[in-house]
């Protein structure tokens, strides 16, 4: 027979894991450039999932528009990473030392997402450098 306290903790952790999984499905970060020309939405890992342009973007030079897109995408990616870190911190606070293996797996996943974000940032920088070539 399982100790009732242990059973409650297991049930609480299962509920937290379900909330975390649901939160991961819905987790996106949003960002915009300073001029408000571009709004970007990124998923964890930096994957761009949406890009919107203001009507004024039509009258913007390609160089300025490229810079606006890069700024908005970077801010959206940063926001997604921040949201993921916040979710992990909330889950860790609720774990109370119980289920440390599950928490370690989540932390490993965060590290993997952060690595993906860095790789995406490097790709954006490579693209940006390539656009500056004559």
Q: What is the pLDDT of residues 84-118, one digit of tens each?
A: 888 777 777 765 555 556 666 667 777 777 888 88
Average pLDDT over residues 11-38: 83
Residue 82 burial (C-beta neighbours within 10 Å; 0-12, 13-18, 19+): exposed
Q: What is the pLDDT of residue 18?
A: 78
How far apart, in whole angstroms, are the C-alpha atoms of residue 42 and residue 116? 12
> Where along the chain do its domains lie?
4-132
Query: Hey, what CATH class is 4-132 in?
Result: alpha beta
Asked if residue 12 has pLDDT above 70, the reply is: yes
Terminal C-alpha separation, the chain: 74
Percent of the chain with pLDDT over 90: 36
Contact 54, 38 (CB under 8 A): yes
Q: To the nearest 10°, the Cα dihedral for 63, 65, 71, 76?
A: -150
More confident residue, 124 or 31: 31
From 24, 1, 2, 23, select the one nearest 11 (Cα to Cα). 2
What's the angle, vertex CA 134, arms to CA 127 and CA 55, rounded to 5? 60
Provide the strand spans (E) within 20-110: 29-32, 38-42, 48-53
Residues contacting 98, CB < 8 A, separation 6+: 9, 13
Higher pLDDT, 23 or 47: 47
């Amino acid at each position: 027979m399982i100790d009732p306290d242990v059973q409650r903790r297991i049930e609480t952790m299962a509920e937290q894991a379900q909330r975390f999984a649901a939160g991961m499905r819905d987790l996106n970060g949003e960002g915009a450039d300073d001029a408000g020309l571009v709004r970007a939405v990124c998923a964890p890992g930096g994957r761009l999932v949406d890009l919107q342009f203001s009507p004024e973007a039509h009258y913007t030079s390609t160089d300025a528009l490229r810079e606006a897109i890069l700024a908005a995408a970077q801010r959206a990616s940063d926001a997604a990473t921040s949201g993921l870190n916040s979710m992990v911190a909330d889950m860790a606070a609720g774990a109370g030392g119980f289920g440390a293996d599950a928490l370690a797996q989540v932390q490993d996943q965060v590290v993997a997402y952060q690595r993906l974000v860095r790789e995406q940032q490097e790709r954006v920088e490579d693209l940006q450098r390539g656009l500056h070539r004559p």
